[in-house]
Amino acid sequence: MLRFTTAGESHGPGLISILEGVPAGLPLRAEDVDRELRRRQQGYGRGRRMQIEQDAIELLSGVRAGQALGSPIAMLIRNRDWRSWQEIMDPAPRDGDPAARRRAVTRPRPGHADFVGMLKYDRQDARDILERASARETTARVAAGAICRRLLEEIGVSIGSHLVHLGGIDAETPAELPSDLNAASDASPLRTLDSAAERQMVELIDRTKRAGDTLGGICEVVCRGLPLGLGSHVSWDRKLDGRLAGALMSIPAVKGVEIGMGFGAARVPGSAVHDELGADSQRPRAGHVARATNRAGGLEGGMTSGEPLMVRVAMKPISTLMKPLGTIDVITGEPAAATAERSDVTAVPAMGVIAEAMVAFVMADAVVEKFGGDSLHELQRNMDGYLSQVAARTDW
Ligand code: EPS
């Protein structure tokens, strides 16, 4: 249905994002994407690179006069830092390559793609691996996700996120999340709704930076307005739980995904897990049903239930430590301190924005799968017809 691919190295000329399958007629401006790219660049704990870049797209194809054409949408995001790295990243061969290239990386960082990548791809310089393994690539994901978000907005579906944990500190989550979740979370330098926890987290980041260490954390993504019945129970690869988990686990440094209660559901009996049904004539998108709880996180049998989708995503600490861990110099075989390239203390607030983008992609894909994707008009007509059919069945 929807497909996207990205290309680009962190310090190369730029990043490319190509998204295919967007229905014709979707209103779309570069600013819709740039707004999301700016959100990804925020967050206390980022390094100097984010002051260099001002990510923005050039729309190369698939959009005309402010509307999608139904053809692949290609976007280019130029790396401003390329100016300082041209000699190192030059695609053309130079005398003495590759050993003579400056800033060669031969001391792989534990936890990064460096070591395995060097051996697997038979490279002498881990830069050939790390430039692509860099989380810079997630800029291109957010660009594709921003377009998916526009599509979802057209059918009344919204996506937001907030940070719920950083490096051992929990943020309290209000009983009722704000209706405009991102307006609230983006106002916080850590994208958290708990200002007391935020102060502790900021102090922790400062302390961790001084210690040359890094921090991980957890973000919660919330998707509201979904009609019931996206995805399917019939085959493993059509279940949305798996599609979401796969997409989110592909984000660099993400090590865990929980849907609804997640691992907590394994520790208590069924009566404390499943969400009881009650009739509610005000909720057509949920089959005129309201759940007493939403412990399932909006998915049952691999399908949307009509309740908000609730997903938590855990990110490990960044593997570039300014106080480096032990490693081996791959050229000499001697014990060494790992390379300490410029990096961030934490990027968990940005990870929340990237997770939103991946959720937007998976849910927009499920919408196009269910309602058809040639034109926005057709998609909306099909969705209205489906909701009328569901309403007729639930007119108790
Ligand atoms: C990254 C290292 C840092 C981060 C970068 C990811 O970049 P640099 O080495 O240029 O200072 O800032 O993140 C981004 C560039 C980004 O856009 O998020 C790494 O090694 O993964």
Residues 94-101 have a mean pLDDT of 76
φ/ψ of residue 6, rounded to 5: -125, 160
Band of pLDDT at residue 69, cut at 50, 70 and 90: very high
Residue 291 in this model has a pLDDT that exceeds 80? yes
Q: Work out which ligand 1 atom sits closest to the CA atom of 46.
A: 12
CA distance 394 to 396: 6
Ligand 1 binding pocket includes 47 (Cβ within 6 Å):
yes
Name which of 39-53, 96-110, 205-219, 288-302 the model is least confident about.
Answer: 96-110
Average predicted confidence (pLDDT) for the chain: 97
Ligand 1 binding pocket includes 139 (Cβ within 6 Å):
yes
Residues 79-88 have a mean pLDDT of 96
100 or 78, which is more confident? 78
Angle formed at CA 37 by CA 309 and CA 377, multiple of 5 degrees: 60
Q: Which long-range contacts (CB under 8 A, 24 or more apart) does 278-285 make?
A: 279/396, 284/387, 284/390, 284/391, 285/225, 285/226, 285/227, 285/228, 285/387
Residue 217 DSSP class? E
347-383 in b/e form (b: 16+ CB < 10 A) is: bbbbbbbbbbbbbbbbbbbbbbbbbebeebeebeeeb
Ligand 1 binding pocket includes 109 (Cβ within 6 Å):
no
Residue 99: predicted pLDDT: 67
CA distance 234 to 222: 25
Residue 214 in this model has a pLDDT that exceeds 90? yes
Please count the CA atoms within 13 angstroms of the CA of 254 that sit on its side-chain side: 27
Residue nearest to atom 19 of ligand 1 (CA): 134
Say how many Å lie between the CA of residue 200 and the centre of ligand 1: 25
For 125-163, write each residue's pLDDT tens digit.
999 999 999 999 999 999 999 999 999 999 999 999 999
Ligand 1 binding pocket includes 214 (Cβ within 6 Å):
no
For 321-352, write each residue's pLDDT tens digit.
999 999 999 999 999 999 997 889 999 999 99
Q: Work out which ligand 1 atom sits closest to the CA atom of 50.
A: 12
The predicted model scores a pTM of 0.98
Q: Work out which ligand 1 atom sits closest to the CA atom of 40.
A: 18
Residue 187 in this model has a pLDDT that exceeds 70? yes
Please count the CA atoms within 13 angstroms of the CA of 343 that sit on its side-chain side: 25
Q: Which of 46, 134, 142 to mutate to test the pocket of ligand 1 (most atoms within 8 A of CB)?
A: 134
Say how many Å lie between the CA of residue 199 and the centre of ligand 1: 25
- Could you tell me if 74 and 147 are in contact, meaning their C-beta atoms sit under 8 angstroms apart? no
In which element (H, E) is residue 358 found? helix 348-371
Please count the CA atoms within 13 angstroms of the CA of 244 that sit on its side-chain side: 32
310-345 in b/e form (b: 16+ CB < 10 A) is: bbbbbbebbbbbbebeebeebeeeeebebbebebbb
CA distance 214 to 233: 40
